[in-house]
Amino acid sequence: MREDDFTGDAGAAIDAALDAMDRLEAGAVANPDEGRRVGHYWLRAPARAPEPAQDYAIERSWAQLDEFAARLDGGALKGSDGCPFEHVIWIGIGGSALGPQLLADALAGDAARGLTVLDNTDPDGIQRALAQLPCPLARALVVVVSKSGSTVETRNGMREVMHAYARAGLELAAHAVAITGEGSTLDQLAAGGEGPPWLARFPLWSWVGGRTSVCSTVGLVLMALLGIDWRAFLAGAAAMDDATRARPARRNPAALLARMWHRQAGGRGEKVMVVLPYRDRLVLLSRYLQQLIMESLGKRLDRAGQEVWQGLTVLGNKGSTDQHAYVQQLRDGLDSFFAIFVRVLEDREPDAPFVEPGVRSGDCLDGFYLGTRAALRERGRASATLVLTRLDARALGAIVALFERAVGLYAELININAYHQPGVEAGKQAARAVLEAQARLLAALSPAPRTAAELAAA
């Protein structure tokens, strides 16, 4: 970074962005086309919510989660065969799946094997996932996540699972939990509108967007089910929120990150962000950030209604794996990117074996990170490194909060609305139009003659 990134017009712009984030947290309407506030920051600090009812609702959801977890752990909730639940089938899409998948892979350890995620409407994928369950359906807990209750992919996954339970002679309601908006079609179903009530219903509020829902019941329920310390995760996010409210901007980690993105990509998304975490457990971080950043920043119009065609492309996998893939291009090919490294200092147990005299596997991993960063620097390729002492719930909560704030600040710098997704909605409408055309075609074909006699008589 350069001094002029935080002085003059550039300094005024980042200060204005920080002011806008203050207003957002205070309850300003951030999504004018929907008349909606954006309150994911309140999820880890309920007292900051602008209305007492929101504070109460968040804390009530925590108490509800504690109660539900106690019933599970105490044996009050069991599978329909009388045995404890052994597996979780999680049905969601977008942030309702990516956030939980990141949490499970990064933090759950062996418990992550107890999770199956259905995040698509691919019938082959659903069939394969259900066929590979490690336990009978009678011992699987099904969690369905949809704020609106009408998300097509999630609805289809739920109906496929319903069908599987019915074929097994089981009632889904005896195994199911809903995370949804109050009064949604899913909420009504889970309340017993079409049969027995489900085991539990958790709220998902209108002021929580899917890509920023990991601190809501979406992430907390998953963490509770897999034994992850969700309070530590929230504490880490809250601590990062405090750090990223800091002034002056040059001492604010989110402002530094947003300003780096803006400088490197020319404020126009001219370069790709490559996310390289040097830890297997963070392999899903790039996918999570891909949605958070690209769905937030990829916009045709700015807030004045002018066409700007903005965005910031994100890709990545993990180090050192990628050193045997696309890192070759990063060093010697097009200078069309900047890199975000994530380094974790603490390895596993201290008595890990030596793979060569005086060298452990973790030493090699760290050496590859340092070598790759140095190799990129030699070519004048830009990068930034986020360093974690250890990878735990608190640290991951902090990372999530850091990128959430950086996205909000960057959006202010380029004057776009980071909290809606008109392109996603357009895709949904186009899909609906195709399905409606298919229905009309089938309706027109169904009365057509089908036999030779019918054709002759026609």
CATH code, domain carrying 134: 3.40.50.10490
How many residues are recorded in the chain? Answer: 458
Q: What is the pLDDT of residue 421?
A: 79
131 domain-assigned: yes
Q: Is residue 127 part of a domain?
A: yes
Output the pLDDT for position 7.
Answer: 80
**Which is more confidently placed, 257 or 31?**
257
Token representation of residue 306: 């002018």
The CA-based dihedral angle spanning residues 245, 247, 250, 252, taken in that order and rounded to the nearest 10 degrees: -20
Q: Is the pLDDT of residue 428 over 70?
A: no
Among residues 228, 247, 281, which one ends one of the domains?
228
Residue 454 domain flag: no
Residues 352 and 260 in one domain: yes
Answer yes or no: do 275 and 156 share one domain: no
163 a catalytic residue:
no
Considering only residues 255 and 322, tell me which one the structure prediction assigns the higher pLDDT.
Answer: 255
Please confirm, yes or no, whether 182 is among the known catalytic residues: no
40 catalytic, yes or no? no
458 within a domain of the structure (yes/no): no
pLDDT one-digit tens code per residue, 105-149: 999 999 999 999 999 999 999 999 999 999 999 999 999 999 999
277 with 235: CB under 8 angstroms? no
Summary mean pLDDT of the chain? 93
Domain assignment of residue 428, yes or no: no
Whole-angstrom distance, CA of residue 194 vs CA of residue 181: 18
Domain boundary among 196, 228, 260: 228
How far is the C-alpha of 395 from the C-alpha of 239, rounded, in Å?
10
Structure-model confidence comparison of residues 335 and 444, the more confident one: 335
Is residue 239 domain-shared with residue 202, that is, in the same domain? no
Separation of CA 255 from chain center: 22
What are 299-323's pLDDT values in tens digits? 999 999 999 999 999 999 999 998 8
pLDDT of residue 45 exceeding 70, the answer is yes
The arithmetic mean of pLDDT across residues 202-221, rounded, is: 97
Confidence of residue 102 (pLDDT cuts 50, 70, 90): very high
243 in the same domain as 201: no
Q: Is the pLDDT of residue 18 over 70?
A: yes
On whether both 205 and 262 belong to a single domain, the answer is no
CB 279 within 8 A of CB 316: no
pLDDT digits 0-9 by tens, 272-297 = 999 999 999 999 999 999 999 999 99
**440 belongs to a structural domain:** no
**Where residue 423 falls among pLDDT bands split at 50, 70, 90?**
low
Q: Is residue 430 part of a domain?
A: no
Confidence band, pLDDT 50/70/90 cuts, at residue 31? confident
Residues 90 and 204 in one domain: yes
Q: Residue 78 falls within a domain, yes or no? A: yes
Task: Choose one of 208, 228, 248: the last residue of a domain.
Answer: 228
Query: Which is the catalytic residue, given 324, 349, 356, 378?
Result: 324
Query: Residues 386, 238: one domain?
Result: yes
Residues 314, 218 share a domain: no
Residue with tokens 């969700």, as numbered in its chain: 230
pLDDT at residue 347, rounded to an integer: 80
The structure tokens 């002021």 sit at: 207
Predicted pLDDT of residue 412 = 98
Helix (H) or strand (E) holding 87: strand 87-91
In the DSSP assignment, the letter for residue 136 is -
Q: Say whether 53 sits in a helix, a strand or coil.
A: helix
Whole domain around residue 90: which residue ranges? 42-228
**Total domains present in the chain:** 2
The active-site residue, picked from 78, 86, 171, 428, is 428
Euclidean distance between CA atoms 43 and 235, whole angstroms? 11
Query: Does one domain contain both 349 and 244?
Result: yes
**pTM of this structure:** 0.92
pLDDT for position 446? 62
Name the least confident of 33-42, 264-273, 313-322, 394-403: 33-42
pLDDT level of residue 167 (50, 70, 90 thresholds): very high
Q: What is the mean pLDDT of residues 228-235?
A: 99
Among candidate residues 25, 153, 160, 295, the one labeled active-site is 295
